[in-house]
Amino acid sequence: MEMIYDTHEARQIDEWAKTSGLPLEVLMERAGSEIAKQIKEHHDADERILIVCGTGNNGGDGYVIGRELIRDGYDITLHAPFGEPKTATARLHTRYAEKFGLVAEGICGQYDVIVDAVFGTGFDGARFTKSVTDLFAWVQEQQQQGARLYAVDIPSGIPTDQTSDFSGKGLKADATFCLHAFKRSAFLVKTAPFFGQLKKIDLGLPAFGGWSLYDESIEPLLTRNPYGHKGTYGTGLLIGGSETMPGSIQLATRAALRTGIGKLQVATVPSAQLGLIINAPEAMILDQTTETIQGIVTQVDVAGIGPGLSSEFTSEWIDLLLRQDIPVVLDASALIRDSYPERQAAIVVTPHIGEFARMTNQTVAEVQDDLFEQASAYAMLHQVIVVLKSHVILIAKPDGGGYVIAGASSGLAKGGSGDTLFGLITSLLGQRKHYQHLSIERLIAMGVSWYAQASKQVEQRMHPSSIVATDLIEQLGKVEG
């Protein structure tokens, strides 16, 4: 898994390297050399390449890139619009680059490639002077004429951690070479488009920090015990559906069954029961009453409640579930708690952005601007696992860290997708006896990855606009690890 850092963590790893005997000069050498190598893999020596360097360490990376390219015969122009680097590390590499004939000069004509090494992490809007605005406008004109733009670590003008003050100004890269770790803003809705393709540059540093991009194989979820039986894979209880929304619980049920749970019981209203009998005959159908739920809840390994639910007893049923020593998944109409009891078994909440904004008394924009911090704060405060559904899916752990699952199909942006994910997660948590080697958070992350992979595979045969949740459910069984 690849780490995702905020500004503080990025500075921490630099300080760790320095105090551990790995000078920043070496890190800059590694970063610039590896970026130059990747540029050489995609561009010929006869292309005009411009490297624009700022006065910080980001600019120092640019000098290394230029030195490596000019040494191999590339046509390089290095432009330093704000003067020479001010940091000792960058100045050292500047002097060395000059030995190869790489000196700052003016810009003229059209370039094929532009390397943005102007500003790194920690950029703020106060630095948008007229000279910066003019530089950005010139680069954008070059892009309109066909130049490819590569950013070093983070596109210039883009904030690193949150986007509440982001004006929309900034360079939009075709690709960003992320040094050691991705930055949070690469996964925020306002700024993600500015990064282009994300390319991780390994600096040989250890991975530490709270958040990571989940990209591991889902193979463990697809392995069955040849000597197992339905009890091996747990018993689940789903509570949901209403007279006006009978389909939600059907989608959740079908997803749970397709995800491998051994036995599934579903408490729903009469109008939804017939559909379940027809479309999910493997499930056991129960009346959606307090008496029925009380009678069955002590016999299950997991319970999920919420999709399509519209009952005056919802709060009572949530209390009943939370008194049991089993994982409980809360979704949709069940996301109504202001607090949660202390308990050993996990509580998982699965809101979309709008629901999470309501749960935290904020606007959707406020949540989207600081997605990581918002999810972490809620998970830590309430000691729950948050599965926050946006253009990416965040899984926030009670200890403050978490996972990001990116790359799902845009076809998921429609009704029914959340019900499907809810059923999948509930099903996997019901199979904890089979997955004891995985933490609950990792099990959930693996399941969300399964969900995302299935959506991309459906997209290969139909347009995202045409994808519906039932397409995704059928694909779950066809995904390979």
Whole-number Å distance between alpha carbons of 420 and 426:
10
Would the annotation count 401 as a binding residue? Answer: no
Q: Where are the beta strands (DSSP E) in 43-108?
A: 48-53, 75-79
Sequence length of the chain is 481
Whole-number Å distance between alpha carbons of 460 and 135:
40
Would the annotation count 120 as a binding residue? Answer: yes
Would the annotation count 54 as a binding residue? Answer: no
- Asked if residue 381 lies in contact with residue 399, where contact means CB atoms within 8 angstroms, the answer is no
Would the annotation count 369 as a binding residue? Answer: no
Would the annotation count 31 as a binding residue? Answer: no
> Which phi-psi region, left, alpha or beta, contains residue 297 (left: φ > 0; alpha: ψ -120 to 50)?
alpha
Would the annotation count 280 as a binding residue? Answer: no
Would the annotation count 156 as a binding residue? Answer: yes
- Asked if residue 50 lies in contact with residue 77, where contact means CB atoms within 8 angstroms, the answer is yes
Name the nearest CA neighbour of 25 among 80, 75, 93, 78: 93
Name the nearest CA neighbour of 72 among 43, 93, 104, 108: 43
Whole-number Å distance between alpha carbons of 221 and 348:
19
Would the annotation count 370 as a binding residue? Answer: no
Whole-number Å distance between alpha carbons of 444 and 302:
14
Whole-number Å distance between alpha carbons of 429 and 456:
24
Would the annotation count 352 as a binding residue? Answer: yes
359 phi and psi angles, rounded to 5 deg: -65, -30
Would the annotation count 116 as a binding residue? Answer: yes
Whole-number Å distance between alpha carbons of 340 and 317:
14
Would the annotation count 304 as a binding residue? Answer: no
Whole-number Å distance between alpha carbons of 427 and 448:
12
Whole-number Å distance between alpha carbons of 346 and 30:
43
Would the annotation count 124 as a binding residue? Answer: yes
Whole-number Å distance between alpha carbons of 30 and 175:
19
Give the position of tokens 């559906």: 241
> Which residues partner with 302 through β-bridges?
236
Would the annotation count 125 as a binding residue? Answer: yes
Would the annotation count 301 as a binding residue? Answer: no
Q: CA-CA distances (angstroms) from residue 168 to 89, 164, 253, 371?
A: 31, 11, 42, 18
Both structure tokens of 454:
């299935």
Would the annotation count 121 as a binding residue? Answer: yes
**SS3 (DSSP) at 282:** coil
- Asked if residue 236 lies in contact with residue 206, where contact means CB atoms within 8 angstroms, the answer is no
Would the annotation count 202 as a binding residue? Answer: no
Whole-number Å distance between alpha carbons of 311 and 333:
9
Would the annotation count 59 as a binding residue? Answer: yes
- Asked if residue 456 lies in contact with residue 409, where contact means CB atoms within 8 angstroms, the answer is yes
CA torsion through residues 406, 404, 172, 13, sign: negative
Query: Which residues are part of a known binding site for AMP?
Result: 418
Query: Which residues are part of a known binding site for (6S)-NADPHX?
Result: 57-61, 120-126, 153, 308, 352, 419
Query: Which residues are part of a known binding site for K(+)?
Result: 58, 116, 156
Query: Which residues are part of a known binding site?
Result: 57-61, 116, 120-126, 153, 156, 308, 352, 418-419
